[in-house]
Structure 1
Amino acid sequence: MSDFDQMGIIVDWVDACRKGDLAMLLDLYTDDAQVECSCNGTRRYRGRRELETYWGPRLSAYSSAGFGLEEINPVPFGIDLEYSVAGSLRIHASFRFSPEGKIRSTLCGPALQEPHAGCAC
């Protein structure tokens, strides 16, 4: 069991997304963190520079379209999160952490969608 607040880190992650604060978001990740996104084909991003390339345009879209927390649950070895963009587009993300209390990896993909929705993660 970790000695840091995984749920609190993800709440900070949600706050950074809502504010469109890229620096705050990137500071939550380890320097060699990885994001694997399967929304539009599977793509992997590793390290701060690639995460910045991945998150920059998304945060801009999220903050203008609206970012909502749908579900947040502790799971073995991390946290699972479901969030929405523009009130209906739902994305599932699984987070794993380093022993130092930073996000080591994120795996995201489409959650259960309304028939007319797509994925913007």
Structure 2
Amino acid sequence: MSISRDEFDPLAAIVDWLDACRRGDLNALLDLYDERAVMECGCEGVTLTGRNSIAAYWAPKLESKRVTAFNLDAVVLTGHGVQIDYQSYEGKPVRFYFRFGSSNEIIYTSCGPLNGRAAKISPN
């Protein structure tokens, strides 16, 4: 299903996602995800399903984030959502893909380290 740009601004959702991460606000972050969202993390080699799993993944990262964490380096609208390059909670460069559902919530994300070249992750 395509996203109607008139009804939903995926870039604004990404700004909200980054802001929640910068503030360390886990509840605000989770509110952006669909209950059945899937997250594939190439950084740690894990696949998570559902808000509870995503909460368990993000909670320690938000608590231990560096000052430079979640600074946006690049953003691109893709055919299925949004791709961002940003600084991880550790201050390392990461690429994240987001796909949104009909509820305008995040239904899928994948991420991986940049390491000086494009991350080898799939936007599905």
Q: Same fold by TM-score, threshold 0.5 exceeded?
A: yes
Percent identity at matched positions? 36
SS in 1 for 2:17: helix
1:12 pairs with 2:16: yes
Unpaired stretches in structure 2, ≥5 consecutive residues: 118-124
Structure 1 stretches lacking a partner, 5+ long = 115-121
Equivalent positions of 1:62-77 (< 5 A) are 62=65, 64-67=66-69, 68-77=71-80
Cα offset for 1:65?
3.9
Q: Deviations over 1:9-50 (max 9, x none)?
A: 00000000100000000000000001110113x211111110
Whether the aligned pair in 1 keeps the contact of 2:64 and 2:89 (CA below 8 Å) is: no
Q: TM-score, normalised by structure 2?
A: 0.83
Report the RMSD for the aligned CA atoms in angstroms. Answer: 1.9
Amino acid at match of 2:92: L
Q: Which residue of 1 aligns with 2:101?
A: 98
Structure 1 residue 58, shift from structure 2 partner: 1.2
| Structure 2 CA distance for partners of 1:46 and 1:87, relative to 1, 3 Å | closer
Matches of 2:84 and 2:72, distance apart in 1: 8
Written as runs of structure 1 = structure 2, the 5 A alignment for 1:1-121 is 1-2=3-4, 3-40=7-44, 42-62=45-65, 64-67=66-69, 68-85=71-88, 89-113=92-116
- Bigger mean CA deviation after superposition, 105-114 or 80-89: 80-89
Number of residue pairs aligned between Structure 1 and Structure 2: 112
Matched letter for residue 68 of structure 2: G
Q: Which has the higher contact order (CA 8 A, sep 6+)?
A: 1
Q: Which amino acid aligns with 2:48?
A: Y
Q: Retained in 1: the 8 A contact 2:68–2:91?
A: no
In the alignment, is the contact (CA less than 8 A) between 2:38 and 2:50 conserved in 1? yes
Provide the secondary structure at the position in 1 that maps to 2:64: helix
Partner amino acid, structure 1, of 2:18: V
When normalised by structure 1's length, the TM-score is 0.84
Deviates more, 1:24-33 or 1:83-92: 83-92
